[in-house]
């Protein structure tokens, strides 16, 4: 039921996909761009294929779960993988249709990258590089959790007036950008904080623990992607993603790593919060 591959890309998966794109595409020129439909979650910008063709790719940036592919000429291609988006890399050759492939970029050195998204919650847009952060999908986002500016003071101030469960506050992208269901569960386990605790009660040492746990959980997942994939590409050509060993996510009833031998250990508990599954250790997360 809970596979080891995340059902939805979160920050570490997007970072890993971006590094794969960067490794293969940076400095290359898009020799051909093909769109197989007019929209994903939103319509593609007018003339997108034509505007991409001939453009040189000069850099990459990730903001939350968005990839920004920066093009010479001052625009960035914004890519959101949505719920089911994947990037497939392979040598360019004709007559190679792939199911649910909506956008294809071919490069001057003979590679092709396809954007595959069966559920079509993904998004693609063009935005002036200078004003990337003003894009309507980015403008309301909270701080990047891996940046130095995300610290206990920032998170503490953001949680101070929130009378919602801590998990809901952390899933709110205005509090912190890029966290989703899985990494929130894992970070709360590490921080020994209950997902049910009122957000506004997370102060002092608790908020320090939580910030450290979020950074460690995300950092480890990104490092795992880097060490388990060659150039961030899977053997089948898929960019990013990798096997994870979750500590609590998807492990209902099992003792967590802190609990073996504890007679009072009830095992990892699964509850539903805001319609999503939460996994936590009721003995050690308070
Ligand atoms: Zn436990």
Which has the closest alpha carbon to 101: 76, 77, 78, 84? Answer: 84
Please, which pLDDT band fits residue 1 given cuts at 50, 70 and 90?
very low
Q: Is 65 a catalytic residue?
A: yes
- Tell me how far apart the alpha carbons of residues 88 and 103 are, in angstroms, rounded to a whole number: 11
Q: How far is the CA of 280 from the centre of ligand 1 (A)?
A: 8
Above 80 in pLDDT, residue 263? no
- Segment 39-44 mean pLDDT: 96
Burial of residue 248 (number of CB atoms within 10 Å: 0-12, 13-18, 19+)? buried
- pLDDT confidence of residue 261: 78
Helical pair 204-228 and 181-191, crossing angle rounded to 10 deg:
120
Q: Is 163 a catalytic residue?
A: no
Q: Is 130 a catalytic residue?
A: no
**Phi-psi category of 167—alpha, beta or left, where left has phi over 0 and alpha has psi -120 to 50?**
alpha
Select the more confidently predicted residue: 228 or 181.
181
Helical pair 152-159 and 204-228, crossing angle rounded to 10 deg:
120
- Tell me how far apart the alpha carbons of residues 230 and 63 are, in angstroms, rounded to a whole number: 23
Select the more confidently predicted residue: 192 or 226.
192
Q: Among the options 56, 61, 247, 276, which is catalytic? A: 276
In the chain, count of helices (H) and strands (E)?
6, 10
Q: Among the options 62, 63, 65, 167, which is catalytic? A: 65
- Tell me how far apart the alpha carbons of residues 212 and 206 are, in angstroms, rounded to a whole number: 10
* DSSP state string for 226-254: HHHSBTTB-TTSBBS------SSTT-TTS
- pLDDT confidence of residue 77: 98
- Segment 145-170 mean pLDDT: 97
Q: What is the pTM of this model?
A: 0.93
Q: How far is the CA of 214 from the centre of ligand 1 (A)?
A: 19
For the segment 110-142, what is each residue's pLDDT rounded down to a tens digit?
999 999 999 999 999 999 999 999 999 999 999
Residue 118 DSSP SS3 = coil
- Tell me how far apart the alpha carbons of residues 286 and 282 are, in angstroms, rounded to a whole number: 7
For the segment 61-70, what is each residue's pLDDT rounded down to a tens digit?
999 999 999 9
Pairing between β-strand 123-128 and β-strand 75-80 as defined by DSSP bridges = antiparallel
Q: Among the options 10, 13, 106, 132, which is catalytic? A: 10
Alpha helices, H only, the chain? 11-25, 48-52, 152-159, 166-171, 181-191, 204-228
Q: How far is the CA of 159 from the centre of ligand 1 (A)?
A: 25
- Measuring CA to CA, how many Å separate 7 from each of 135, 213, 259, 272? 26, 22, 27, 17
Q: Among the options 9, 12, 145, 152, which is catalytic? A: 9
Q: How far is the CA of 212 from the centre of ligand 1 (A)?
A: 20
Ion ligand 1 residue ranges (Cβ < 5 Å)? 256, 258-259, 281, 283-284
Q: How far is the CA of 278 from the centre of ligand 1 (A)?
A: 14
- Segment 30-58 mean pLDDT: 96
Above 60 in pLDDT, residue 5? no
For the segment 79-109, what is each residue's pLDDT rounded down to a tens digit?
999 988 999 998 887 666 788 999 999 999 9
Above 70 in pLDDT, residue 160? yes
Q: How far is the CA of 257 from the centre of ligand 1 (A)?
A: 6
Q: Is 276 a catalytic residue?
A: yes
CB of 10 closer than 8 Å to CB of 179: yes
CA triplet 115, 116, 118: central angle to 5 degrees?
A: 150
Instruction: Tell me, rounded to whole angstroms, the distance of Cα 76 from its chain centroid.
Output: 19
Over pLDDT 90: what percentage of the chain? 81
């Amino acid at each position: 039921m809970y596979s080891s591959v995340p059902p939805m890309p979160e920050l570490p998966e997007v970072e890993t996909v971006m590094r794969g794109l960067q490794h293969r595409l940076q400095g290359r020129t898009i020799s051909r761009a093909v769109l197989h439909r007019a929209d994903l979650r939103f319509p593609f910008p007018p003339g997108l294929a034509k505007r991409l063709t001939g453009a040189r790719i000069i850099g990459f940036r990730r903001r939350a779960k968005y990839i920004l592919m920066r093009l010479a000429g001052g625009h960035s291609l914004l890519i959101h993988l949505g719920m089911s988006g994947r990037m497939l890399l392979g040598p360019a050759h004709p007559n190679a249709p792939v199911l649910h492939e909506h956008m294809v970029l071919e490069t001057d050195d003979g590679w092709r990258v396809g954007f595959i998204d069966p559920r079509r919650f993904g998004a693609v847009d063009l935005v002036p590089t200078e004003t990337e952060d003003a894009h309507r999908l980015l403008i309301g986002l909270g701080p990047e959790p891996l940046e130095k500016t995300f610290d206990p003071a920032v998170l503490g101030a953001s949680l101070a007036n929130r009378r919602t469960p801590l998990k809901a506050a952390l899933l709110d992208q205005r509090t912190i950008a890029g966290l989703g269901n899985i990494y929130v569960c894992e970070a709360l386990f590490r921080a020994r904080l209950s997902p049910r605790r009122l957000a506004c009660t997370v102060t002092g040492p608790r908020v320090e623990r939580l910030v450290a746990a979020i950074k460690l959980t995300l950092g480890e997942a990104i490092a795992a992607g880097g060490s388990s994939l060659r150039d961030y590409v899977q053997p089948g050509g898929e960019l990013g993603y990798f096997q994870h060993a979750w500590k609590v996510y998807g492990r209902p009833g099992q003792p967590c790593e802190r609990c073996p031998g504890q007679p009072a250990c009830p095992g990892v508990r699964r509850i539903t919060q805001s319609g999503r599954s939460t996994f936590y250790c009721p003995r050690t997360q308070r």
